[in-house]
Amino acid sequence: MMKRICALVCACLMLALPLPCGAETDAGDSEDSRIFTFSLIGDCTVGEQVQHLGYKSGYTSKISAAGLDYPFSLAADMFARDDLTVANCEGTFSNRRQTSKRLMALIAPPEFAEVFKLGNVDVCNLANNHSKDFGGKGQEDTAAALNALGIGTFYDDVTWSTTVKGVKVGFVGFTYPMNEQKLKRYIAAQEALRADGCTFVVASAHWGRETYYELDSNQAYGIKLIDAGFDMVFGHGSHTCEMIRWYKGKVIFYSLSNFTFGANAHPKDEDTVVAQISYDIHEDGTMTARELHAIPYKMGNDGDFRPYPIEDEEGKLRVWEKLYYNGYTKHKKKPAPSLPESFLTTGYVDFRELPVGEE
């Protein structure tokens, strides 16, 4: 895999430069070369509320003392072994300090973008309700800070694509509200990526009612995005773990909670998850879902902002139950659970054993 190759190059002190983000790799004819693995994580606020910037108990002070590799230190090795690690970057990397009109404006100096790099995150969604806390220029600063480190970014009508193992993968992202007009923008962006050669396109969606577990009317667009031709829906925004849905042979992740989250040292629910999903690669560059491993994590230990894997069985079962089924809020049709019941005790799905999943 691409990131394994880069790690091996560095470890052996070879003179050749590591492959840049987006470079196509040649892994030969091994089984591994025919399997594509994503690691998906939810909201990451690598920073804090601007009025608290620099406070002793805040994110930037604690992480400066612990080291910029600290937030992802219990997941970085896992992310180094996949093909693409994808996160929602919820906040701004900028030196702008003008007063924001937003009640909770999230920010960190540009050098904190390295937290994602050291964590082996490959691409960040910047389409969320905090990406413009310091205006469009702040969002551009954030993209520039991440791009300078080789990390891809996508937001609104700015898409991103990369080729790995012969598969050209594209990303489209918007934030709520979801409506028919927004759906048309998703579709237009997807069509442009397909025309550019993408054979797998991910729709990223920042949505959901904050701190709730049930799906809301915005998230009803998850199935519409799949019906529109997207290959996966990567959802985030509720700050909670919400259901994973198997629909027409595709996967909808409605919300993966937070991961490293400086906006709140002690959120109401500290459960989170790393969703690792693998795909079988076909000769034409298309992919079909193979397996899912939902790896339960906690967001931190006593406000240290470092997610750590949940080891106790009770904690694991609690996370898997949230991901199995929550339904819609009042007056909405509740979808039946679409994952096998075994997921409740294993966090694992073999999609090859499931029916296509049409409603």
Q: What is the CATH number of the domain that holds 41?
A: 3.60.21.10
Closest CA to 308 of 343, 345, 267, 260: 260
Contact 112, 70 (CB under 8 A): no
pLDDT at 237 over 70: yes
Residue 281: Cβ-neighbour burial (10 angstroms; 0-12, 13-18, 19+): buried
Average the pLDDT over each of 242-251, 283-292, 323-332 and give the range with the smallest value.
Answer: 323-332
Q: How many residues does the chain have?
A: 359
Q: Is residue 24 part of a domain?
A: no
Look at residue 98 in the predicted model and tell me its pLDDT: 67
Percent of the chain with pLDDT over 90: 81
| Predicted pLDDT of residue 29 | 56
Q: Classify residue 245: in a domain, yes or no.
A: yes
Peptide bond into 177 cis (omega under 30): yes
* pLDDT tens-digit series, residues 56-90: 999 999 999 999 999 999 999 999 999 999 999 99
The amino acid present at 50, given as its one-letter code, is V
Instruction: Indicate if the pLDDT at residue 346 is higher than 50.
Output: yes
Rounded average pLDDT over 194-221: 96
> Which residue, among 9, 112, 20, has the nearest Cα to 69 in the 3D structure?
112
Residue 99 banded pLDDT, cuts 50, 70, 90 = low
What pTM did the predictor assign? 0.90
Give domain status of residue 13, yes or no.
no
Q: Give me the helices (H) in the chain, please.
A: 2-12, 59-66, 76-80, 114-118, 135-147, 180-195, 221-227, 313-324, 343-346
Q: Is the confidence at residue 331, as pLDDT, over 80?
A: no
State the Cα–Cα distance between residues 89 and 59, nearest whole angstrom: 15
Mean pLDDT of the chain: 90
Percent of the chain scored above 70 by pLDDT? 87
- Decide if pLDDT at 8 tops 50: no
Q: Is 336 a member of any domain?
A: yes
Structural domain count, the chain: 1
d(CA 227, CA 284): 21
Q: What is the pLDDT of residue 357?
A: 62
Collapsing DSSP to helix, strand or coil, 158 comes out as strand
The answer, yes or no, to whether residue 288 has pLDDT greater than 80, is: yes
For residue 9, the model assigns a pLDDT of 37
Contacts of 178 (CB under 8 A, 6+ apart): 205, 207, 217, 218, 219, 220, 221
Cα separation, 295 vs 346, in Å, equals: 10
Phi, psi of 324 (to 5 degrees): -75, -45
pLDDT score of 179: 97
Half-sphere exposure for 79 (CA within 13 Å, toward CB): 21
Residue 104: pLDDT band (50, 70, 90) is confident
Spatial contact of 185 and 157, defined as CB atoms under 8 Å apart: yes
Q: What does the longest C-alpha to C-alpha distance in the chain come to?
A: 62
Residue 15: inside a domain: no
Report CA torsion sign: 81, 83, 87, 92: positive
Q: Of 106, 72, 69, 70, which Cα lies nearest the Cα of 87?
A: 72
Domain with 132 in it: 34-353
Q: Is the pLDDT of residue 178 over 70?
A: yes
Kindly state whether residue 93 falls inside one of the protein's structural domains: yes
For residue 46, the tally of other CB atoms under 10 A from its CB is 31
User: What are the pLDDT digits (tens) for 115-158?
Assistant: 999 999 999 999 999 999 999 999 999 999 999 999 999 999 99
Helix (H, G, I), strand (E, B) or coil at 328: strand
Of residues 35 and 97, more confidently modeled: 35
Rg over alpha carbons for the chain, rounded to the nearest Å, is 19
- Residue 187 confidence class, pLDDT cut points 50, 70, 90: very high
Q: What average pLDDT score do residues 192-210 get?
A: 98
Which pLDDT value is given to residue 329? 53
Q: In terms of pLDDT, which residue wins out, 17 or 169?
A: 169
CA–CA gap between residue 92 and residue 89 (Å, rounded)? 8
Give the pLDDT score at 97: 72
Token output for 267: 């959120």
